[in-house]
Structure 1
């Protein structure tokens, strides 16, 4: 994918998934990670996707999706919780950098989700601003409970869906881009053991229906 080429949302998603397949199979190409790419991107950036993921140290986006410099506009918070700064960063990626794809990346064994479940079931509080993270994850856990979901995997998937809905519902910029067909959103569930990224939900990607 060259800088001059502007991919469609579907094309961008296929590139991302292909990179993850290479990572899973231990056949990475490490594209755009050399001195030539460094020089090419020094004057400016043109990433093909916004990657909004959990801050977990095991979710290094460019490694998981076998990409390089200038490919991904990465935003990360614990439990991929979204406040104004996150929404503004994603809108910047979509409206200023013209990224045709936004990905929400959650994962199994998520500490933020586990802490929220513990806080709700055992009433164990947390100090400092970690409490704010738990409060932002709480609606997802409560929604999962209301739907009868009890496993960690199902609750994390519900949190991914909830985050995708929140982004689209709160950001008119993003919603308008999806409506116009210029941008799509995908929620992915990452498995730490095998490195695979599974589709949970999508917006604006008709060729990729929800698989969970």
Structure 2
């Protein structure tokens, strides 16, 4: 029996409302008063990582084994959320984190998705909120095989291709990663997907004093990962 599954990710409107509420509270309360306290039995970063790995193994072994009990879970989740992992992943419709990690249920994962799993201001703020105020002990930056955004960035790096519109701006942060891998042995796109996830994880710690302090204390771990579309397996890169 795998972890209970939910077919949809975190609702964007609900997330924005949560973040808006967090901003209002932060303006009126000190950080110490606003921050949550660890619940009894809360997972450590390593326990959360082990739980993701176990869930993915179940997904690989039998992707149809998920059994949803959403009615009961919805009632519990409506009282408040306590996610145990934050996932920054690609928007690709073939990569739903809730299913990839074994069918986790409502209220378990804090998810940020965009093309190419690129770290941006909104994403970094969401990660900080998840770690500091929801006490999620694990952050995963997950790229995936044949990522369209990375393919586009590789086209720019190798051939100078211009896509126009907002796509060029969207993939701009991935282009330096592609340029750094253009002469490496092996598959250019695949190498860049992995390097992009590794760079994203490193940027989270480098650009967020909040996350860096929590990593130093050992209360949060940041891990890059790679999802194989064919096998369904997640390879953690650190």
TM-score bin (small chain): 0.7 to 0.9
TM-score by length of 2: 0.79
Q: Which residue of 1 aligns with 2:50?
A: 14
Match of 2:129 in 1: 92
* Distance across 1 between alignment mates of 2:159 and 2:44: 46
**1:23-172 equivalent positions in 2, closer than 5 A:** 23-26=59-62, 30=66, 33-66=69-102, 67-145=104-182, 148-151=184-187, 152-172=189-209
Looking at structure 2, the residues matched to 13 and 80 of structure 1 have their Cα atoms a distance apart, in angstroms, of 19
Q: Deviations over 1:65-115 (max 9, x none)?
A: 121111100001100111111111111111110100001111110101110
| Contact residue 154 and residue 179 of structure 2 kept, 8 A | no
**Residues paired across the two proteins, number:** 199
Larger radius of gyration: 2
Q: Which has the higher strand share?
A: 1
Q: Which residue of 2 aligns with 1:187?
A: 224
SS at match of 1:47: coil
Q: What's the secondary structure of 2:178's corresponding residue?
A: helix
Structure 1 unaligned regions, length at least 5:
202-212
Deviation, structure 1 residue 149: 4.3
Alpha carbons of structure 1 residues 109 and 27: separation in structure 2 relative to 1, 3 Å: closer
- Measure how far apart 1:143 and its partner are: 2.2
Runs of 4+ in 1 over 4 A off after TM superposition: none
Task: Provide the residue aligned with 1:175 in structure 2.
Answer: 212
Indicate the SS of the match to 1:175.
helix
- Structure 2: how far apart are the matches of 1:88 and 1:149? 36
Counterpart Cα distance in 2 of 1:198 and 1:105: 9
Q: Distance in 2 between matches of 1:27 and 1:115?
A: 30
Unmatched segments (≥5 aa) in structure 2: 4-38
Cα root mean square deviation, aligned: 1.8
- Distance 1:27-1:126 versus aligned 2 partners, 3 A rule: closer
